[in-house]
Amino acid sequence: MSQAIINPEILSWARQRAGLDAPTLARKLNIREDKLIPWEKGDILPTFKQAQNYAHNTYIPFGYLFLKHPPRDDLPIPDLRTVGDHGSKGISINLRDIIQEVIRHQLWYQEYLTEIDAKPIEVVGSFSVNAPVKAIVMDMKIKPLA
């Protein structure tokens, strides 16, 4: 079998990003842990099939395994799940994927609205959070949404 000449640093990064320890990932890959550790150290190389399986089980694109450095994995939104300055311990890989998918959809919709020359929605930004509810209701009655 041909071996995949991949970056072992990416293997460790992908496993940690997925929140998996070595024994758990080894079980998912149907290999012994003593075979997984040398992959991550760069002592031996996995086959292409094994590398594809590794990427699948760590939720990264297969091509990431060939990068020189792990890609930046920052999200362009604040983490508002905590109160004050108490940071969370990170987000799950599934939540990260959902956020990235929503951002892609949002960007697509912005482009679509630009292409069709859509007019801005007048309601958006017309009141502050401190505005009286009655004033907002009256405005909505006068100018119903189309």
With bands split at pLDDT 50, 70 and 90, how would you rate the model's confidence at 84? low
The two three-digit tokens of residue 119, written as one number: 């007019």
**Mean pLDDT of the chain, nearest integer:** 89
Q: Which domain, by its residues, includes 43?
A: 8-66
Closest by CA to 25, choosing from 67, 56, 68, 1, is 56
For 129, phi then psi, to 5°, come to: -65, -20
Number of domains in the chain: 1
Is pLDDT above 80 for 83?
Answer: no
The string of pLDDT tens digits covering residues 101-115 is 999 999 999 999 999
Question: What CATH code is carried by the domain that includes residue 54?
Answer: 1.10.260.40
Residue keyed to tokens 């630009």: 114
With bands split at pLDDT 50, 70 and 90, how would you rate the model's confidence at 13? very high
Residue 18 within any structural domain of the chain: yes
The pTM of the full predicted model, rounded to 2 decimals, is 0.67
Residue 143 within any structural domain of the chain: no
Give mean pLDDT, residues 55-63: 95
Residue 48 within any structural domain of the chain: yes
Return d(Cα 61, Cα 38) in angstroms, integer. Answer: 21
Residue 80 within any structural domain of the chain: no
